[in-house]
Amino acid sequence: MKRSDARVHAHWRGVIFDMDGTLTVPVIDFAAMRLRLGIPTGDILHTLRGWPDDRRHWALGIIEEIEDEALDRLVFQAGCLELLDFIASGGLPMAILTRNTKRTVEIFMARLGRRFDIVITREFEPVKPAPDSALYICGRWQVAPGQVLLVGDYRDDILCGRAAGTLTCLLKNPHNESYAELADYAVAGLGEVVGILSSLPGHR
């Protein structure tokens, strides 16, 4: 099947995307963020929950400052627009599931010139890798998780999808290939997701 002849397979009923590093080229320096926050290891957002209110608000301000700086360098992943248009042409709903802020996602969508049916940000708890957010999206769409593809670039994305029962796709980069074995699919570029969505799972 030629790419121009590709159609969304009837199995698929929705696609969930991580944002940073998946729809966009990763630009946030998490090592620098950890250094400024004084959190050398562990999940940053989970760690902040255990901090006193004043210290947590200070830390969230630092995170938002770093995220705002990253917006100035925002670049879409190669094939991003084409993939979103392909999904839309098949009538599938799309969601963003990110640990970023609502404001950041709104700016991203404005620059992208595309909207998503559902947007889940870090205000929704528990955050990834807990499956609650992905299950919430599937519930809103009234579809079985096994008919949904979750696309991300980090372990938490894949673990979230697996726990929720969705199919998962890792967008590989030089730093995350060790997570490929956790995912149902692993791709080098977003353009390859078209092939996944054109096929019945297990019949690529």
Q: Say whether both 91 and 19 belong to one domain.
A: yes
Mean pLDDT value across the chain: 89
Of the residues 18, 153, 156, 157, which is catalytic?
A: 18
**Whole-prediction pTM value?**
0.84
Residue 145 within a domain: yes
| Residues 176 and 164 reside in one and the same domain | yes
160 lies in the same domain as 186: yes
Residue 74 or residue 200, greater confidence: 200
Three state DSSP letters for the chain:
CCHHHCCCCCCCCEEEECCCCCCECCCCCHHHHHHHHCCCCCCHHHHHHCCCHHHHHHHHHHHHHHHHHHHCCCCECCCHHHHHHHHHHCCCCEEEECCCCHHHHHHHHHHHCCCCCEEECCCCCCCCCCCHHHHHHHHHHCCCHHHEEEEECCHHHHHHHHHHCCEEEEECCCCCHHHHHHCCEEECCCHHHHHHHCCCCCCC
| Model pLDDT for residues 144-185, shown as the tens digit of each residue | 999 999 999 999 999 999 999 999 999 999 889 899 999 999
Burial grade of 5 (CB within 10 A; 0-12, 13-18, 19 or more):
exposed
Q: Which of 20, 54, 153, 157 is catalytic?
A: 20
Same domain, yes or no, for 173 and 147?
A: yes
Task: Report if residue 203 sits inside a domain.
Answer: no
Residue 35 forms part of a structural domain: yes
Residue 152 sits in a domain of what CATH number?
3.40.50.1000
Q: Please give the tally of structural domains in the chain.
A: 2
Reply yes or no on whether 117 is catalytic.
no
> Is residue 34 a part of any domain in this protein?
yes
78 band by pLDDT with thresholds 50, 70 and 90: very high
Q: Specify the pLDDT at position 16.
A: 98
Domain region containing 56? 30-71
Same domain, 66 and 142: no
**Res. 63 pLDDT band, cuts 50 70 90:** confident
pLDDT tops 50 at residue 92: yes
pLDDT for res 4: 56
The DSSP bridge partners found for residue 119 are: 96
> 93 and 50, same structural domain?
no
29 belongs to the catalytic site: no
Same-domain status, 55 and 81: no
Any idea which of 31-35, 74-78, 124-128 has the lowest mean pLDDT?
31-35
Mean pLDDT confidence for 132-140: 98
Q: How confident is the model at residue 3 (pLDDT cuts 50, 70, 90)?
A: low
In a shared domain, residues 121 and 38: no
Model confidence band, residue 91 (pLDDT cutoffs 50, 70, 90): very high
